[in-house]
Amino acid sequence: MILEIKKLMARAAYTGEFSFEYQPPQESILIPLCRIDGGVKVTGDYEIFENDEVEVTLKISYLLVGSCSYCLADAQKPVEYSTDVLFVTDKDDCDNYVYDGNRLDLSTAVNDALLFSQPKVLLCKEDCKGGKFN
């Protein structure tokens, strides 16, 4: 999940796209009795600015599977999430992601996107009332 910014700049590739698969740690799944099936697909594009800031649009998609949060039946939900993030070289910037000006590691931004993308509950069907536990 690394973008080699200096190498991209040397090739005058100031904009571009990327794509990779990522297997997140199980502890990053917030809903009990759930997991991500098949990993997270990460795609996006970047733009490098003259001041070395890098704007990245991240798009993640994955299949969340597990037990229904209400009735414990099998459940699954495809999840798609998109976000724009800015990477800066100013270590004092608390509002954006910081990188060293050479190599940009997308790991933290991807992990944050994964956390923000998760639903509060996983349901077997949209109108699940909880079955025998209700």
CA 5 to chain centre: 20
Calpha distance 111→107 (Å, rounded): 6
pLDDT at residue 13, rounded to an integer: 93
Query: CA separation (Å) from 121 to 37, 39, 64, 75, 126?
Result: 16, 19, 11, 10, 11
Nearest to 77 by CA among 64, 60, 61, 62: 64
Give strand pairing partners of 20: 42
Domain definitions of the chain by residue range: 2-133
Residue 131: the pLDDT is 57
pTM: 0.88
Q: What are the mean pLDDT values of the chain's consecutive 10-residue runs (134 residues total)? A: 93 95 92 95 96 96 96 96 96 93 95 96 90 50
